[in-house]
Amino acid sequence: MIHEIPLERANLHGHFSSELEPVLTIDRGDSVRIDVPNAGWRVEWDTPIVPRSEIEGLGHALAGPIQVRGARAGQTLSIRVDEVVPGSWGVTITPPPEEHVMEWELAGTTGRTGGIEVELSPFLGVMGMPPPEPGVHPTFPPRPWGGNIDCKELLAGTTLFLPIPVDGALFSAGDGHALQADGEVCGTAIECPAAAQLTLDLRDDLELQWPVARTASAWLTFGFDPELGEAARIALDGMLHLMKREYSFERNEAHALASLVVDLRVTQVANQVLGVHAVLPDDAIRFR
């Protein structure tokens, strides 16, 4: 079944909390279509949505939460990205003191500003669930349960796997990016409104501590931490576990192979904690 969450203020929130009431309850395997403003709560450059409260306005404009019937803490939530369609405009802003604003016209697969043209590669920057601790949690730092991952690899056709922290899952998503490079070095991508379709399911046979993703051609594992080296260690540890689970390698063998065929990439340096994702391409190892 396909559900829809309309672009309305009542369906948006700007923080993570296990105490937020779900705007939609679905069965496992159902799909959800969402429409979200850009991260700054703007539908058009000059058309903001006023958040419901001061707390809501502090973070990204997220659609949800979505409750999944039967979801329990400790299970894994599977999020298949079926489609991400950027709106007709976007913006890239560098931070002060030398702030620079680039306003983009977006059409089809192309973004234009002035005499510059780029090829778009849209994805949602935020997909995640609230921490298990009560209270209000900001949307900016990614966590083991997802959130502001800002990984350019999470395109349509990709499946993201997240450990579920709370019963019901209470999944939210938003932060449309029309294009972003690894690192997101100025703190923003082409930030845009977006429409997306996501299919949510549960996995009882996949125990995770940190996010994992499956793209069309590779496995990805993620790590987040204030220290880049620790974020890399978490991502690598996740990859070694994956290589044992998927390919039956012993850990020391997986570690040796990872040094040959696994790339560590800086996901982002912009979200209070740093992100690293480890990438294992499908064609990197051949079995005889």
Which fold would CATH assign to domain 217-284? Endonuclease I-creI (3.10.28)
Determine which of 50-54, 86-90, 124-128 has the lowest per-residue pLDDT on average: 50-54
Axis crossing angle, helix 251-261 with helix 228-247, rounded to the nearest 10? 120
* pLDDT tens digit sequence for 81-93: 999 999 999 999 9
Mean pLDDT across the stretch 19-37? 97
Band (pLDDT 50/70/90 cuts) for residue 53 is low
Across the chain, mean pLDDT equals 95
Mean pLDDT across the stretch 33-44? 94
Three-state secondary-structure class, residue 164: coil
| Residue boundaries of the structural domains of the chain | 2-203, 217-284
Mean pLDDT across the stretch 107-133? 97
The residue type of 60 is H
Band (pLDDT 50/70/90 cuts) for residue 50 is confident
pLDDT attached to residue 243: 97
* pLDDT tens digit sequence for 98-109: 889 999 999 999
pLDDT attached to residue 137: 95
Concatenated DSSP letters for 246-268? HH---HHHHHHHHHHH-EEEEEE
Which fold would CATH assign to domain 2-203? Jelly Rolls (2.60.120)
* pLDDT tens digit sequence for 231-256: 999 999 999 999 999 999 999 999 99
Query: Other C-beta atoms within 10 Å of 115: how many?
Result: 5
- Which residue, chain included where needed, has tokens 């990204």? 60
What gap in Å lies between CA 32 and CA 252, rounded to an integer? Answer: 41
Concatenated DSSP letters for 53-105? STTGGGS--EEEEEEETT--TTSEEEEEEEEEEE-SEEEEEPPTTS--EEEEE
Three-state secondary-structure class, residue 22: coil
Global pTM reads 0.95
Determine which of 8-12, 26-30, 176-180 has the lowest per-residue pLDDT on average: 8-12
For residue 56, pLDDT beyond 80 = no
Mean pLDDT across the stretch 132-138? 95
